[in-house]
Structure formats: structure tokens, C-alpha cells
Structure 1
Amino acid sequence: MNFTAIDFETATGHPHSACAVGIVTVEDGVITEEYYTLIQPPNNEYWYRNVMVHGIKPVETLDMPTFDDLFPEIRKRLYGKKLVAHNEAFDRNVLMKTMRYYGLYYDELELADPWECTCKIYRAKGYKPANLKACSQRNGIELNHHEALSDARACAQLYLLHDGQIKLRM
């Protein structure tokens, strides 16, 4: 099983305000690579409520590259891949809108469509709630919630578990 799990954190309520991304590559059912970076959002603007969720502050991204500068690294990890996210509509929207903001073309990534969504998968299994924290706790998956790499890793593990590729404590 080959796929890439992704998670974004945003600095504001605007989807083009990515301030962190975690990307986990899975090949033959095994996590083979993890990538994490902070991203300087447009004008390094943050909303207080977003900071309260993920803990990333403007001072931490002031000297970080913007998304367009980081895009070559992100692109090589996403190009042509099957993507999985826990709330795929959110993460797909952040990727698309951030790319558009910087004049980049989403279609050039040649991603499998649609993305897989572990939230939908676990909701269909009867999980209530089906948020990432609850699904991770129920399956014994370690999670530092709203840290993009931890969220992407937990999503990858949930996807593997759903497919029977790994066995986690129930």
C-alpha cells in the first residue's frame, strides 16, 4: 500500500494561510519518510484563536520561507501520489488555495482524485466522535494533536489500520 498522508495548520481563518505542514510517505505499508516544516504565512499574520489551537506564533515563522519557496520540497513529496488526510476537505482546500495564492497550479501535482479521508472512513465504522484525537486514542496511536507531523503520522497509521496493514492496540 502506497500513499502520502498530509496535514496543514493555518495561521488565520483563510485557507491560504498555511503556517505548517506535515507529510508522511508510506510505501508497501511502511512509513518511509516524514517531512515537517513551518511556513511563513502571508504577511506573517496570525489570528489569536488559531495560535491557541496549534501553538505556532508569528515569531516562529518570521524567518521561515514562504510556501512558494518551500513548494519544490513539498511537490517532490506529493507529485502523483494518493493523498490521505483526516479531514481531507480542509487539507485539500488549504493546499489548493495556498498554491493559487502564490500563482502555482494544483493540477501540476497530478494527484489521485479524490483524496482519502480517514475521518469519513472511521465515521462509517461507527466511531463517535470521529475526530483525529478520538480515533487515535481509541486505537492506541500516539498523537500530539495540532502538530502537523504528528497529525499526518496518526492519519497514516489510521489509514493503514483501516486497511488491515498494521495491527494496533484496540
Structure 2
Amino acid sequence: MDFIALDFETATPQRDSPCEIGITVVKDTQIVETRSWLIKPLYYPHFNHFNVAVHGIKPTDVKDQPDFRELWPVLQPYLEGQFLIAHNASFDMSVLRKTLATYSIPLPEARYSCSLKFSKNIWKGMTKYDLKTLCNMHRIDFQHHRAASDAHACAALSLKAIEQTGTASEEEFLAKMGSKISRV
């Protein structure tokens, strides 16, 4: 099973303010690549103090980084035509959609699912389903709220769910994972 795990960190509460993106590539149920890019957000140099407290990325860290429009030619091949998984996908997909709209970039043809949602179907009875709790339960080490590490953790968690349910394809996702696949 192939998919791309995706994670965004944002500079402000505005969804079109990504300051970091992380991507983990899974081919034949193996993690083959994890990458991240810092992004100079649209609202630079304004960063919300709460967002900085969460991820630790400051305006000085992104001062010389590309904005999303400049980075899109590098990111698009990772996303176009792919099956994406994010933990709390409603957040990450809204960041992607809003940022693409802000820069007048067409949406990629991609499908996605949410590891938060399918985790609730697979590991029933937990009090919390955040990425940190699930990764602790499965002994997946990661540096929370850094995009590459979160994307890698999401991929590792998704692989555990895929293995536990015996899911072999996107077509089996709803029946075995209890989670629908949506279009970006």
C-alpha cells in the first residue's frame, strides 16, 4: 500500500500561514523518504506567540526561506495523484486548500484520509486520540509539532493500523479501517 503522510505547522491561526510542511513517502508499506521544508508565510514577519510556543519556529527561522508559491513546484509531485494521510486531516487539508487558494494555485488531484478518525475505529475505548498519545501507545518516537517528525509518526501509526486490519488497498479502506477517503 502506497501513501503520503502530510503535516503542516502554521505561523498564525490563519489557515494560509504555513511555516513548515513535512512529508513522508510510503511505498509498498515501507517508509522510503521523509522531508520537510520551512516556508516564509504570507504574513511574515508576523507569527502568533501561541503558534511559536507550540512548534518553536520563529520568523528568523524562515526569513530566507521560499514562500509557498516558490515551493509548490517541489511539493506538487509529492501530492499530485497521491493518497494522502494526515492526523487530524481536517486541519492539514484546510491549510493546503486555503494556501493554494491564496496563491491562486489549482488544487492537486489527490485523495486523503484521517489517521485520527481511523484510529478511533481501530483502537476503541481510548480517552484521547491525539498523535502523541497514539504514538506513545505504539512506542513510536517523534519530536511533536515539527512537520517532518509528525508526518513520519503519522506514517508509522498508519502502517500499524493497516497491518492490524489487513488493509491492502485504498478500496479496502472504508471496510477495514472504518474511514472514508475524500478528495482534496
TM-score range, shorter chain: over 0.9
Residue matched to 2:117: 120
RMSD across aligned positions (CA): 1.0
Residue matched to 1:74: 75
Q: Give the number of equivalent residue pairs.
A: 161
Structure 1 unaligned runs (5+)?
166-170
CA distance in 2, matches of 1:145, 1:79: 26
Q: Deviations over 1:7-42 (max 9, x none)?
A: 000000000000000000100001112221100001
Which SS does the other structure have where 1:42 is aligned?
A: coil
Shift of 1:123: 1.8
TM-score normalised according to structure 1 size: 0.92
Q: Deviations over 1:93-119 (max 9, x none)?
A: 00000011111011xx1102xx21111
Moved >6 Å (runs of 4+): none
Q: Which amino acid letter does the alignment assign opposite residue 81 of structure 1?
A: Q
Which SS does the other structure have where 1:104 is aligned?
A: coil
Counting only pairs closer than 5 Å after superposition, residues 1-170 of structure 1 correspond to structure 2 as 1-44=1-44, 45-106=46-107, 109-112=108-111, 115-124=112-121, 125-126=123-124, 127-164=126-163
Shift of 1:43: 3.2
Structure 2 unaligned runs (5+)?
165-184
Q: Which amino acid letter does the alignment assign opposite residue 88 of structure 2?
A: N
Residue matched to 2:170: none
Which SS does the other structure have where 1:164 is aligned?
A: helix
Identity of counterpart residues, as a percentage? 40
Which SS does the other structure have where 1:137 is aligned?
A: helix
TM-score normalised according to structure 2 size: 0.85
